[in-house]
Amino acid sequence: MGDFKKNLIRVLIISSLVVLILGGLLVYFRIEIGKKVIKIDEYKKELASRDDILNRIHNLEQGEALSLSYLSQLQDALPTESEAVRFEGMLQDLAHQNDLSLSFRFGELNEPKDSEPKSYNFNLLLSGTKSSILKWLAELKGLTYRAHLEQIEFNQKTTEDSNLLYDVKILGRIYIR
């Protein structure tokens, strides 16, 4: 019976050691797996952040391409100061096409404000028939220049042969870049 007890104690000790070793390994692997899961979650968050950044960069690049097309339209719509000099010539051409006499003068330069770009004031005086003046005003809208007419004053006069003519005084501004 002595051998049986020794074998039983040996088996119990070996079994206990195996259980302790396996329990220790289980705890060790569980801690290591927990650490790896935390790292994997951090990597997932970093990948999501990078993906978000890449999407934002892509959207910005698309916005840049769109804004460049608008920029060229804005540059075409607003002349430079040197290009604004041609404005008077275009107005003179329209006046000659409509049998009007035109007197034009640039005023002062207005610095840009929050809601308006830089601009030049101008004064002009038109003389001619009512229909010619109205046609000239309609054609003025079609010009590539952006002008704001602030004041239009019509004065009627009669010629020696009883024809009605009008003098039109216009105060306005032309926008430039």
Q: Which residues of 51-85 are buried (b: 16+ CB within 10 A; e: fewer)?
A: eeeeeeeeeeeeeeeeeeeeeeeeeeebbeeeebe
On whether both 90 and 61 belong to a single domain, the answer is no
pLDDT at 143: 81
d(CA 155, CA 160): 17
On whether both 87 and 165 belong to a single domain, the answer is yes
Q: Which domain does 47 fall in, by range?
A: 1-77
d(CA 23, CA 6): 25
pLDDT at 162: 65
pLDDT at 107: 85
Last residue of a domain, one of 50, 77, 104: 77
pLDDT greater at residue 83 or residue 154:
154
On whether both 69 and 137 belong to a single domain, the answer is no
Last residue of a domain, one of 77, 101, 118: 77
On whether both 72 and 85 belong to a single domain, the answer is no
pLDDT at 40: 94
Helix (H, G, I), strand (E, B) or coil at 112: coil
CA dihedral 122, 73, 114, 149 (to 10 degrees): 30
Burial label, 170 (beta-carbon count in 10 A; 0-12, 13-18, 19+):
buried
Q: What is the arithmetic mean of pLDDT over 108-132? A: 87
On whether both 60 and 87 belong to a single domain, the answer is no
pLDDT at 44: 94
Please state the domain count of the chain.
2
On whether both 148 and 64 belong to a single domain, the answer is no
Last residue of a domain, one of 19, 50, 77: 77
Cβ atoms within 10 Å of 94's Cβ, excluding its own = 20
pLDDT at 136 over 70: yes
On whether both 67 and 127 belong to a single domain, the answer is no
pLDDT at 160: 67
On whether both 139 and 65 belong to a single domain, the answer is no
On whether both 55 and 99 belong to a single domain, the answer is no
On whether both 93 and 152 belong to a single domain, the answer is yes
Least confident of 40-49, 54-63, 72-81: 72-81
